[in-house]
Structures are given as structure tokens and as C-alpha cells.
Amino acid sequence: MIQVEHISKAFGAIQALDDISFQAPNGLITGLLGPNGAGKTTCLRILYTVLKADTGTARVDGFDTRRQILDVQQRIGVLPDSTGLYPRLTARENIRYYGNLHGHRGAPLEAKIDHLIKLLDMQDIADRRTEGFSTGQRVKVAIARALVHDPPNILLDEPTSGLDVMSTRAMRSFIRRLRDEGKCVLFTSHIMQEVAALCEQIIILNKGKVVASGAPEALLTETGRTNLEEAFVAAIGSSEGLE
Amino acid sequence: MKLSHAFRRIGVIFAKEAIDNLRDRRSIFTALTSTLIGPVLLLVMIVIVGRTFNQEGLTTSFRLPVIGAENATSLIAYLEQNGVKIVPGPANPQQAVKNGDEDLVLIIPEEYGEDFSQGLPATIQIVIDTSRQSSQPAIERIRQLLNTYSAQIASLRLLARGISPAVIQPLAVERVDMATPETQALIFLNILPYFVILVVFMGGMYVIIDTTAGERERNSLEPLLINPVPRWEMVIGKLVASWPFAVAALFINLLAFSLAFNYFPLEDYLGVQIQLDVRALTGIFFISLPMIVLASALQMIIATFTRSFKEAQTYVGFLPLIPALPGIGLAFLPIKPSLWTMLIPSFGQQILINQFLRSEPIAWGNVLISTLTTIVLSILLIFVAIRLYSSERILGSAK
């Protein structure tokens, strides 16, 4: 469960986020949709504690992202924009490192790693050093290490960027699977179709503000359009930044 | 309870960084080469420069090019009696000395005989180049011979006039030279502390850069920071991971120096064998340990605000020059250990290392002061590193 209340963040003269509020409940997929530079990544970074909001509060399962950092970090699994791995460690060692950092060890951790490796269908690469992995392989490792501590809240920053069609489909069914397990899933995208295909709830960001939010059907009624893409364009006021 | 969790997490980071860097050929290669530069360079210097110090070669075969030897037969005879081999001088003596073909050339003009027999100062010229270090022993030797000859003739002339030669010798200067062959050879040891500092700084350098600037460059920093680990624990884990590399480098370095001094036939080049005993080496090892902490903290700060691996490498590479400067000065200006020198981290250690090398008595108070100031400064620097690591800007240009 993620709650964002009146968050603002400025970098110098640039107002990246301007009084943002929304909620992402458990068991739902929430999509943060917006053109490039709308503030999606900044918003996620505040939620996963590497940035601090200037004003407003953000909570994960009731824990304040500014003051209860470790509690928040224990309850989130994040696929950030940068998914760098350690090239001299194998995929399994990369995942195990994150498990260890979360305080997990021994047989239960190894079982969890095996489970994730099977789930993400990466048995063939699990014990290879990650140097030279393809984007798809890297994302798999990054997802596995983000979920190794079984977090109830999952934040994904453009999870399908750079993936081919098959990997994108696999990613989508994986995200649905997480939702079915009752997790709170929040992901960002600038691709309309992706959000339409996955989300039960959409929050449209533009220039640091929430310009529309709700279930896809509700967005259609609200903007008086017949498809989501037009609703999106209507919401942000122009087709600038769309792909 | 909290602290044991912190130690466990620091241990996780330490273990990962150590294993990761042990698999990195670059880290290992740098650590190893930096340890061997010093001993190898020192041996090369001794082999090349050592001959200059070795006076033996001069007495046996000392040749002197002379122009106009026929003008001063008695002087030439005197020189030959004293083991100088007279050879005809080159056509252009100035050019020959300038080019380094000859160390020096003696020119005896035609008027020499006439002036000499009239009792006037008879002019002779030696063509030399004082800027060439290797010519100095030959020049010094020929000057001594000429002075002695001149004094002898003067005494004879005074005696012939019934005056005691002692009249013109108001001072009788006796040289009591305390320099033994050992102390002369110790000049080479002055440079050793500098190499030790170099190794202290180079040994863990790549680990620090790799775990900081390298982490950011390969985009693995941001995901790492999302883990439930306080930033100070990350800084400590990464710092400590560099220490075994630096300690191992220091150990190998001292071992190589000990092999060079104790087993290489230095006597052939210096005329004396320098000994580095286990006590001195152990002392140097422990004196240098706090500097490893200092070096890693300094490197961490620099690597934290540089944007890329390359940039970090450039700046961090310059670091060992700072503590090296007083060390180089030390090679020329012997400075006595005192309170103010001990209060300067790395400088105090270099003086103490020098004392160990010379088997001088060590004031343990000095060891304590220099170790404490180094550790206090290190702790301050580690705080700065943690502050830098805790700021939002740590993510830098990584988007």
C-alpha cells in the first residue's frame, strides 16, 4: 500500500513534482503514465528513498519514506531505471548479495533464489557471470534481486524499456502474477498501450502534476473520449512527448 | 542488537567487494606492480649510481688527458708517481668536456716553464663541467694532487730562502670524516619511505575506485542504495574491503625490499652490504598501517564526487604525490623527529621509517603521537565520506 500526499520536489529552478497525491492499493496494478520529463522517475525515487521530497509525505505500508527509511526499504522491491549488475559476479551471486543485504541467509535464501530463477526462466544463465548479458537477461536478474526478500510493494521504472516482444509479454504476465499474489504494484511508463494492457488504475502525470487519475473506464468517461490514447492526449493537453 | 546487525551487513558488503575485486585482474595487477616498482627501481639506481660512490676504481686506473705535457715535466712526473696515467689531450678540450667525452682536461701553457723558474705563479688550466655529477670524483682528485704539488713546491722555495714553511700555514686542518661506507650507502635508504607511501596509496586504490565511482558508472549504485542498509555501513564496508589489498601490497613490498637488500650483492656496487633486519621491517609494517586507513578515506572522498572511473583514477592517482613531497625533501634535508613532524600524518611515519632503517633508537611517544593523529584525521575524513555518501547528489549523473 503506497500513499502519496501533496509531494513537491524541485531541482534548482525546475519544479519536478508539484503537489502530487495518489494512492496505490494492494492487489492492484497502478500505472504512472506521462510523457518524458513529467516527473515519473522523480516520484518513484522519492518513494524508494534515494530522494527526499521538499514538502508533503509519502508512506509505504504506513511508514514514512523520509523518516523510517529502513522500514520502507524492507517493504519495497524496486526495478529502478538503472539496472546495473556486478559483471564479475554470476547472476545467482548478484541475487544472493541483495538477499544478504536484507538479512536473509542460508537454505531459505537459496530456496528463494532457486524459486525466482525458475519463475523467471533463467536457469541457463544463473551460474554465468553477468558480463555480456543481453538487456532481457539483465532485467531478469535485476527483477530477481529486487524480489528476493519477498516485498509486499513493487516499484518498476519503465520495466519493459529495451525488451523485445516476447520478453515484454513475459514481463506483463509476471507483473499480473505479482498482483494476483496480493502485492501492491506501481509502475511507470510512457507507453499508452502498455498501461492500457495492464493497469486497473492509471495516474497521468504531466509537468509534475497529476492531470487525471482513476480506472481506465473512468478516465474515458471523465475526458469524454472513446479510447485511452485520446483520453491521454486530452488529459495532458497536447500530443507532445508521446510515442 | 542493532550493532550486531550493522556488523553483519558491513560484513556482507565487505565480503562481496573483496570477492568481486579479487576476480578483477586490474585490481590485482595494480596492487602487485606497485609493490615491486620500489625495490626494482632502487636496485637499478644502486647499480648505476653506486659506481660513482665507489672510490676504488679511481686509484687503480685514473687517466688524465693533458695538453702541453712537455711544458711541465716535473709536474707530470709527480702526477705519474701518484698513479695518474697521462694521455695526450683532445684537439678541442672545451668541446670534449662539454660533450662528456672527457671528465676533465689539463692544459699547461708554453709560458709555464718560464713563470715557474722565475718564481711567479705559473698558470695551468683544468677544463671541467661542474654540472656533471659523475665527473666530480675525478675533478676532486686532480685538484687535491695539484694543491699538494703546489704546497710542496712552496715549502721547498721557502726552505731555500731560509724560512720555515710553517709560517705560511697558520691553520693545520685535519679532516675527521665520520662517514663510514655504511652511512654513505644509507643515502639510498632515504628514498625507501617514499616507496612505502606509494604502496600504501596504490595497494587499495582500485578497490576504492571500483566500489565507488565504478559502482556509479555501471549503474549499480542506485539499486544498491535501495537496500535496507544505512549509508555509513556501506561506506565502512567498502573502505574495509580495500584494506586487505593494501596490507597485502605493503607486506609484499617490504618482503621484496628485504630480499633486495639482504640477498642482492649490493657490496659489488656500494662497497658495503646494507642489512634490513626483521625488527626494522616489522616496525615499518606496523607504522604504515594507520596510513592505509587514511589513504582509503581520502580516496573514498575523491572517488565519491568524481563522475566516472577514469576521472576518479586520474585524481586518485595524484594523491600519493602529496605525502611524497615531504618524503622527497627528507632525502636531501635530514629532519630530526620532533613533535611538529609527528603531528603531520604521513610525514611523521616517513621519519620513523627512516629511523627504523638506520636502527636508531625509536621514541615510542613519537610512534604513539603520529599513529593517533593519523587515526583521528582518518576518522574525520571517514565522516566526510559518509556525509557525501548520504547526500542525494551521490547518484550524480546517473539518471
In tens, the pLDDT along A126-152 reads 999 999 999 999 999 999 999 999 999
Query: Cβ separation of A101 and B230 shorter than 8 Å?
Result: no
Q: Mark which residues 3-32 of B lie under 8 Å from A by CB.
A: 5, 8-9, 12-13, 16, 19-20, 23-24
Q: Average the pLDDT over each of A185-189, B176-180, B188-192, B311-315 and give the range with the smallest value.
A: B176-180
CB-CB neighbors (< 8 A) of B225 in chain A: 49-50
Using alpha carbons only, how large is chain B's radius of gyration in Å? 31
ipTM of model: 0.92
Q: A125, exposed or middle or buried, with CB in 10 Å at 0-12, 13-18, 19+?
A: buried
**Short-list B367, B370, B378, B212, CA closest to B295:** B378
pLDDT (tens digit, 9 = 90+) per residue, B276-308?
788 889 999 999 999 999 999 999 999 988 878
Q: Mapping DSSP to helix (H, G, I), strand (E, B) and coil, where does residue B189 land? A: helix
Residue with more model confidence, A97 or B178: A97
DSSP classification of residue A129: B
Please give the Cα distance from B189 to B42 (Å, whole number): 9
Q: Nearest CB to A101: which of B222, B227, B399?
A: B227
CA distances from B36 to B50, B201, B273, B285, B352 (A): 20, 14, 21, 16, 22
Distance from first CA to last CA of chain A, Å, rounded?
Answer: 30
Report the pLDDT value the prediction gives residue A215, as an integer from 0 to 100: 87
Please give the Cα distance from A9 to A18 (Å, whole number): 7
CA distances from A232 to A114, A224, B281 (A): 41, 11, 74
CB-CB neighbors (< 8 A) of B25 in chain A: none
C-alpha cell at B389: 555518501
pTM of the model: 0.78
CB count, 10 Å around CB of B203? Answer: 30
Please give the Cα distance from B289 to B285 (Å, whole number): 7
Closest chain A residue to the Cα of B230, Cα to Cα: A70
Q: Mapping DSSP to helix (H, G, I), strand (E, B) and coil, where does residue B345 land? A: coil
- ∠ CA B93-B97-B98, nearest 5°, is 115
Q: Are A76 and A154 in contact (CB under 8 A)?
A: yes
DSSP H or E segment with residue B64: strand B62-67
Most confident of the ranges A159-168, A172-181, B190-199: A172-181
Please give the Cα distance from B334 to B113 (Å, whole number): 49
CB-CB neighbors (< 8 A) of B399 in chain A: 41, 81-82
- Among B207, B222, B224, pick the best mutation site for testing chain A contact (most A Cβ within 10 A): B222
Largest CA distance in chain A: 56
DSSP H or E segment with residue B355: helix B347-357
Q: B99, exposed or middle or buried, with CB in 10 Å at 0-12, 13-18, 19+?
A: exposed
Please give the Cα distance from B119 to B121 (Å, whole number): 7
Query: Cβ separation of B13 and A89 shorter than 8 Å?
Result: no
Query: Cβ separation of A88 and B218 shorter than 8 Å?
Result: no
CB-CB neighbors (< 8 A) of A97 in chain B: 12, 16
Q: Are A148 and A109 in contact (CB under 8 A)?
A: yes
Please give the Cα distance from A187 to A183 (Å, whole number): 13
pLDDT (tens digit, 9 = 90+) per residue, A66-114?
999 999 999 999 999 888 999 999 999 999 999 999 999 999 999 999 9
CB-CB neighbors (< 8 A) of A50 in chain B: 222, 225-226, 392, 395
